[in-house]
């Protein structure tokens, strides 16, 4: 167990729907990162939050949004889902913004049908 918890592990939903993926970082970690792994784009960085504030943004679509709550858990919201959004979504956490102690969760597999 990496200490980073992602729920749900699997999600199947229809096109046009909205889903929320949840990530609980390792205890004490302030930074949360979201990554998407798709067949087309590979593993790519979406967004980072540090202690509740957005710190960095990658190739995140406008239909996607995220937030980090006061208890430091984070949610990734995906709306108006398309078939191409089917992917494995990883969350990672670290104590600060350095890569030391950078830990990935086991991922949420999203299937859009």
| Total residues in contact with another protein, by rule CB under 8 A | 24
Per-residue DSSP letters for 24-67?
A: EPPTT--EEEEEEEETTTEEEEEEEEETTEEEEE-S--TTEEEE
- Contacts (CB under 8 A) with another protein, residues 18-57: 33, 35, 42-45, 48, 55-56
Shortest Å, Cβ 41 to another protein: 10
Q: Shortest distance, CB of residue 52 to another protein, whole angstroms?
A: 16
Would you state the structure tokens that stand for residue 23, as one six-digit string? 């990530």
Q: Work out whether 75 is an interface residue with another protein (CB under 8 A).
A: no
Find where tokens 């990162």 sit.
33
């Amino acid at each position: 167990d990496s200490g980073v918890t992602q729920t749900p592990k699997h999600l199947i939903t229809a096109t046009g729907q909205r889903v929320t993926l949840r990530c609980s970082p390792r205890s004490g970690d302030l930074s949360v990162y979201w990554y998407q792994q798709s067949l087309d784009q590979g593993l790519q960085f979406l967004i980072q939050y540090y202690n509740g504030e957005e710190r960095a943004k990658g190739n995140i679509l406008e239909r996607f949004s995220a937030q980090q709550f006061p208890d430091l858990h984070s949610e990734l919201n995906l709306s108006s889902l398309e078939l191409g959004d089917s992917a494995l979504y990883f969350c990672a956490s670290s104590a600060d913004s350095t890569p030391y102690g950078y830990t990935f969760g086991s991922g949420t597999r999203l299937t859009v049908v």
